[in-house]
Amino acid sequence: MKISIFGLGYVGAVSAGCLATDGHQVFGLDPNETKVDLINKGRTPIIEKDIGEMIASAVKNGKLRATTDVREAVMNSDISLICVGTPSQLNGNLDLSYVRRVCEEIGLVLKEKSAFHVVAGRSTMLPGSMRNVVIPTLEACSGKKAGVDFGVCNNPEFLREGTAVYDYYNPPKTVIGESDQRAGDMLVELYKNMDAPLIRTDIETAEMVKYTDNTWHALKVAFANEIGNICKAVGIDGHKVMEVFCQDTKLNLSSYYMKPGFAFGGSCLPKDVRALNYKGKSLDLDLPVLNAIMSSNQLQIEKAIAMIVNKNKHKIGILGFAFKAETDDLRESPIVNVIEYLIGKGYELKLYDKNVNLAALTGANRDYILNRIPHISKLMVGDVREVMDFAETIVIGNGSEEFKPIPANLKTGQVVVDLVRIVKDMSGEQYDGICW
């Protein structure tokens, strides 16, 4: 394919060298004539393992040429990759002025180009940037319609400095957010030989994936450092602890726990987080990440309360109030916090959980209900239909299988607040999910 790459910085130069090595005809564009001259002499404008040799070979073979002529590059290419910088502003927001300028230049050429052309954003941009900046600018300057007359994609890169060429050919995934299938199909051609999962999705999801990845990586570093600081203070080798931690790929390094939803609870997580935070304080350690966990969890409880209250309905039914499905454990169940708030504000409630049966409970759970939350036990009913007949707002508090039919079988006037995503792809005026 023929590709024009706007911006010959780190991402652009690596992409240009790799794509040209793969046999594509690549035009590299940059307003910096020094970068353009370097590439045309077969030299790399950046320091990165292997890329110098790749650029030299591609230029020699005629597969890579740099230019400042936007019209020549766009008219003679099928896809334009935007790889310009998106630096931080003082307030932390992104400066999209370079992106906007490039889109203006591309749009003016698209105005006179009859062939279908795809513009793909490789630059890291916040969700909404493609929809609110890239697409309107291209449409205004070209007089054409995105998804009809030309295609737009978001194609985030996952390159690490120092291993960028390896990462290009061995990505963890290839993500393409597309305005239309035709545009996505053209971009897929660039990566058809990649041995990596190919994910085609909407533009905004693709934009957000890159930020989610990078923020998660940053959080992992901060988390490991804080654990290491505690270890150091008590005479433990933090590397040994984290080596054991990282061997667990069933829970620790896995997708488990990584689905947005309601707050965590139960007899272990809250207790152990508080204990570790206390230990840190006793050691005079500043642990902002670990100390923020419980307050973040509390905010999710408050969000659920606000969702319920904002429905402006007085009769509330709670389905599932053990801290997770298939357990009878109410200790530190976050839904209990929600119930107690609603009781205190005078709402009428009925509660159902097949696993929380007062007559059958023994030990700590029975003691917890009778001594800590006796007022809640009086609101428990033994049949889900009793809750459905009573409630105006139905809150799904855990993922018990028996609650799956609920959102599709609401009566007129009823609404459901789903804290667990009991079924996928639900929407409509009667349905509200906490993170979806």
Give the residue numbers annotated as catalytic, written as ranges: 268
Sign, CA dihedral 33-39-45-46, equals positive
Collapsed DSSP state (helix, strand, coil) of residue 145: coil
Q: Give every CB contact of residue 379 below 8 A, 6+ residues apart in sequence.
A: 339, 343, 349, 350, 351
Alpha helices per DSSP H over 157-268 = 164-169, 181-190, 203-233, 238-246
Cβ–Cβ under 8 Å, residues 418 and 431: yes
Burial of 67 (0-12, 13-18, 19+ CB in 10 A): middle
Burial of 102 (0-12, 13-18, 19+ CB in 10 A): buried
Buried b (16+ CB within 10 A) or exposed e, 326-343: ebbbbbbbbbbbbbebbb
Of residues 3, 11, 75, 7, the one with CA closest to residue 48 = 11
